[in-house]
Structures are given as C-alpha cells and as structure tokens.
Amino acid sequence: LHGGGFVSGAGSSPLYEASRIARRGDVVVVTLNYRLGALGFLATAELRAESPDGSVGNYGLLDQRAALGWIHDNIAVFGGDPTNVTLFGQSSGSVAICAQLAMAGSRDLVARAILQSGGGCADVRLLEDDPVTPGGTLGLGESFVRATPCADAQSPVECLRRLPLGDLLEAQQQVPANLFGNRSLGPSVDGVLLPAQPIEVLEDAPEARPLLTGSMSREFALFVVGGVVKAETEADYHQLTLGLTGDAKRAADLESVFPLSDFDSVREAVVTLGSEAVYACPARALAAFTASRGAPAFNYEMRASVGGLAGAVGPAHGLDVPFVFGTLDASSLLTYDEQDRALSDTMIELWTHFATNSAPDTSSGWEPIRRGTLVLEEQGVRMVEDPSAGRCAKLEQLGLVPL
C-alpha cells in the first residue's frame, strides 16, 4: 500500500514498479490504488446519518478491503497463493495496514504484514475529541465543507456530490494541515468499521500476525529540510512536542526524554525526537508486542541513503521505497552506486523471504526482536542492540508509546 499521507500517491508510481522484486523474490506483487483525501476519508455528521450502519469516513479503507477480496478470489490465476498474502506498505500505507488488520472481513485475508516507517498501530484519529486533532475528523470534515460553496446548502453532501472534482481538491487544501504538512483527512475510528484504535483491536485478537517493521534512522529530516516542520528556535521545539502530544504535561514529559541540552542544535533535536518518538519507538514496541503474542517479529533501522538531491537529506522518510522495490533508477532526483544496488538486492531478498516464510533469510543473521535490531547500511546488514532502546524505554514508561 503506497504512502502519501492519505492525500497523495499512487500504486502506479514508477517507484512501485514491481518487476525486479517479483523476479528476484519469485513472488506475485500487487500494487493498488484507493480513494484519497476528501473522496476517501471525508467524515461529516450528514454522511454518518445517511450510512446504514453509521460507519463514516473510511471509504479508502473499503477500497483496500475490496482489493484484498479480489486478490483472495483471483490471485491463484496469476500463480499466487490466496492463503499466503503479505500486506506491506510504507508511511500512511503502514497505517492503513494496521487498520486492515483490525477490520472484520480484512484480517482473515492477511497472513503477515510488513510496516515501513509507519510507527505503531495507534495513529488513527477519532471522530470526536481526538487528543491531537481538535474536533476530531468530524471537525475536519466540517472545515472542508465550509471551504466549498456547499456550506449553506440544505444538504451539503448532495451539493458536494455535484461539484466538479477541481473544486473538491481546492477545498481540500483549506483543511488544517497536520505536523507533516499533509491535509489531515485520513481514516477515522468510527466505532463500526474501525471499532477502536487498531492496536486495541489487535490486543484483543485471538492471535498475532507475523510482523516485519522498522524505520529510517533520520525519518524527520525530510520534514525539517522541506520546511514542513519548523526547527530553528526553542519555540519551534515546544510547538512540535505539544503538537505531537496534544497536552502540556505530556509535551513536557516528551521533552524530558529529548532535552535540548543533549543536542548541538534545535534542528538536530527535532530530527532525533521525531524520528524516534514518532517512528522508531512505536515500531519497536509493536514488534515486541507481536513477539509477546508468540508470532515472529523482526525490527530494522535503515541508515543507508543515496546520492542526488533526494539523498541530500540522508536516510530520511521515503528513501526506503526505491531500495525495497529495486527502483533506484526511477527518479532523476536519485543517484546510486553498486553498494546501493547490492543493498537493494539484499532488502528484496529479506522482504520476499519473510513474505514467503514469515522470517527473513537466515543467512542475513537477522534475529527476532528480542535479540536486537537489524541495521541496513551501504556496507551491508548487521545485528545490533536496539540503538534507541534507552529513550524508547523512557517513552514507554511515561505512556508516550502505545502498548
């Protein structure tokens, strides 16, 4: 499942061209599209009222579930095994996978999951009273409606359905942006399709699915270098911690784990805090939880980057995708060398071996989560003790990481 913050992206992107991974891994790869933005995730009281079961705001998730059903019914014709489906995705695609694992009708169609740079499984917003989204997704939906000519219509929803697509996309840009610069339209815990946060559903599930998860070592550098997250002053730092937690006390707790005095600059503090608190630590906790339920679970940290403009930010959010798909030549913003290509081939072997056997290729030395983290570098791969374990443990003790 592609990333893009639930507002952009496509399975047809050249970065997701899957011939190399299919050929080297001897697997059938399916990339898919789903409705995005307001078309996929708009939640309003009127839409909720007209829904037969009260479900609202998760139309893009229903598209994904329909695709899973199609795969189950038809993949054998293409040489695939409908009982051995691995769902894998990056960024918001990982969040969507968490949702699918928590949805009735989807979970039984998935044998295992690979979550790249998705954090944990507790990032779906609530319809109302969301801790970091005032007004919840229903409030965001009303903001969207007010940005259209339909705000004063007798039935805003019927009016919206008659608007040209361009008007809808323009209104979408008026919805308050989240910390990552994305318009905050995305899945909702609606109490029906998603009865609770995915991690809460998974905690009550009879068994866990095998899991491979991890993140880039400098995920947040993309958002800082791109100017999406401000990181110049102490005020910027405080704004970030408050935005991540939605609560002054919890923000202070978060800052106690990543004190500015530990870093050479505000920018470095923001990159480290965001990379670990948002991505690495939740992923680590999810892997540990999965292992505690008796399922194979593997954690990684990717420290490799590439050359070119895109690689100038270092091992940041999104740069794992061309390595996993073997599409290092898909963008003019990337340059790569033989070491990069060799690492890409190694990652393809690890990912596809897990997709087939619920474990990476044992020759890599990748051990389950209890024994450490696999570091992916230009020079190759190696097992280390979890590099962020100390701060992650503190975050968990403070209740700042789910589980």
Residue of 91, 92, 117, 184 marked catalytic: 91
Nearest to 98 by CA among 179, 236, 197, 228: 197
The yes-or-no answer on residue 265 being catalytic is no
| Rounded CA separation 57/38 (Å) | 9
- Quickly tell me which residue has 């004190």 as its tokens: 259
And the tokens for 121? Answer: 């499984």
DSSP letters, 7-74, are TS--TTSGGG--HHHHHHHT----------HHHHH---HHHHHHSTT---S-HHHHHHHHHHHHHHHH
Buried b (16+ CB within 10 A) or exposed e, 62-78: bbbbebbeebbeebeee
What Cα–Cα distance (Å) separates residue 86 from each residue in 27, 80, 144, 206, 315?
10, 11, 35, 19, 25
Buried b (16+ CB within 10 A) or exposed e, 352-380: bbbbbebbbbeebebebbeebbbbbbeee
Nearest to 108 by CA among 72, 78, 59, 74: 72
Residue 189 carries which DSSP code?
E
Would you say 50 and 44 are in contact if contact means Cβ atoms under 8 Å apart? no
Would you say 276 and 392 are in contact if contact means Cβ atoms under 8 Å apart? yes
| Rounded CA separation 254/246 (Å) | 11
| Rounded CA separation 316/328 (Å) | 15
Alpha helices (H) in 293-388, listed in sequence order: 321-325, 338-357
Cβ neighbours for 207, distance < 8 A, ≥ 6 positions apart: 293, 294, 295
Residues annotated as catalytic are: 91
